[in-house]
Amino acid sequence: MRKKAMSVLRSIFAGSAAGILIAVLFMTGVFELLELKALDFRFRMNAEERVPSDDIVIVTIDQNSIDYLKNRIGILWKWPRDLYGYAVSYLSGAGAKAILLDFDFSDPDINRAEFEEGQTDRFLGEAIEEAGNVVNTFILYDSTRGGDYAQDTTDYELLEHFALNINGSENLNIKNHVSAVVPIPVIMGAGRSLGSATIHTDPDGTIRR
């Protein structure tokens, strides 16, 4: 009888310990991380191997770019925005069908002695307008964000630049955002449209969506 009671107690203890362990693992997000890693594995196993398209060119600004202009021309970071305008004109002249500028132009360019106030922003805006195929970026936020160029996501001008009319969109499970940081008017108004640069990472720091 005593052995049977001890066996029952051990079973209860083992079950309780297992339950507590599972609860702790669940609360710490271990199961979610394992599920995400399993999802990554399935993606790798089922993904088709594709050769990157030569039609898409990524032009980056790296430390070598910054050092080159600093040492050769004496232009320090942050670069004046007329340089971005020259880049847009060059890409447009080279036949680019679309140009995406993944930069934060939500504040006016800093004032420089060699330029009039707002001159470099206007130069960039004119280059964007002349190209006619430039997509600027904006960032969405979950809460109201301050700043001169933060806008409510229901603002008509903002919606006009990036909203897509999709049948049944009210049934989509899309995360809601209440504010957006957009380019200054002289740049945003010159572009063809806006594209979201908003990033949401999963708990393990990986971007999957």
**Full 3-state SS string of 125-165:** HHHHHHHCCEEEEEEEECCCCCCCCEEECCCHHHHHHHCCC
List alpha helices for 47-97, DSSP H: 63-72, 81-93
Closest-CA residue to 204 (of 49, 65, 40, 89):
40
pLDDT by residue for the chain (209 residues), tens digit each? 555 555 555 556 555 555 565 555 455 555 577 777 777 777 777 777 778 788 899 999 999 999 999 999 999 999 999 999 999 999 999 999 999 999 999 899 998 888 899 999 999 999 999 999 999 998 887 765 555 555 555 555 555 655 556 666 556 555 667 777 889 999 999 999 888 888 877 777 777 76
First vs last C-alpha separation in the chain: 59
DSSP string spanning 113-128?
A: TTS-TTHHHHHHHHHH
